[in-house]
Structure 1
């Protein structure tokens, strides 16, 4: 039997972030090995030690030093949950000023499945660069899940997390 496929899960600073452990639990039950990468602000909201114990991998926030081993196995797919206005726009522009953005930019070039679940306030979603940047990411092969899945209420219910798991199931490679 082959090992479970690896999902690189990028977590941005939006209200669902502190409950990401619930999502990790559901993803693991669905057959994923989850490796977390957090934006610097999101990292300050997370219990990184508990999440590392849950996943078996450190929660990455900072770049590794040259020569240091890669702490996460290679990804089979990636997801950004929740994805913020800031991260989405910087990613579309090709910025790599955080580890999370650097990982997303590299993964975009691999052709691996990448799913994005935005959590963006309506006022920010109305900004003139937002929709064109989502189109740019879609044109690059990113699957953007829009709608109210992560928008409200602030408390994530098991049903909302289950919808994320269901959406990611299509990205999971088939066992060989």
Structure 2
């Protein structure tokens, strides 16, 4: 049985590890469709063809024209990681100018299990929109992977000790929704 993961990424340094993350998800039995914010797509523009070949699906970062068929299979789970401060706030407010934010917002409305792991620094935490957005997304049914045992913010301009916790997000895909890895 194939399980489809929509992996959505904002422009934050962990996006540069996305090929490794896709391979890890695939080894766990996921068919991965990669969506990027426009800035993340610009950061990865020289890798987009390779990422499409790796997933077997086009990498999407913009809306298709009306009437065009959807090129991705339906999602079983949506993971938005890394989610920047801007993407989180847009999603929580329902501002869907970006393709991935819109699909994530619709996923919640369609009842698709949806998870978000931020990539913000401690300065973002002090802005009142951070807590409001986390609470809004959580109240909408989004599993927010933030805090001890998940993502913990770093000081501005510093690397995350131990790196971005991609493994936490991929493990949560299995446990949070009762999904089990597909046998090889």
CA distance in 2, matches of 1:138, 1:109: 13
The within-5 A match list for 1:46-61 is 46=44, 47-61=47-61
Do residues 45 (structure 1) and 50 (structure 2) align? no
| 2:30 alignment partner, one of 3, 26, 32 | 32
- Tell which has more relative contact order, 1 or 2 (C-alpha 8 A, sep 6+): 1
Match of 1:149 in 2: 151
* Alpha carbons 2:173, 2:179 under 8 Å: kept: no
Cα deviations across residues 57-108 of structure 1 (Å, max 9, x unaligned)?
Answer: 0100111111211011110110011011000001110001111111111111
TM-score in terms of structure 1 length? 0.90
CA distance in 1, matches of 2:28, 2:22: 10
Indicate the SS of the match to 1:51.
helix
Cα deviations across residues 109-160 of structure 1 (Å, max 9, x unaligned)?
Answer: 0111111110001101210111011101101100001136375635975x93
Match of 1:113 in 2: 113
Match of 1:126 in 2: 126
| 1:13 alignment partner, one of 11, 14, 18 | 11
* Alpha carbons 2:91, 2:105 under 8 Å: kept: yes
Match of 1:168 in 2: 173
Match of 1:92 in 2: 92
CA distance in 1, matches of 2:141, 2:94: 15
Indicate the SS of the match to 1:44.
helix
Indicate the SS of the match to 1:108.
helix
CA distance in 2, matches of 1:156, 1:18: 16
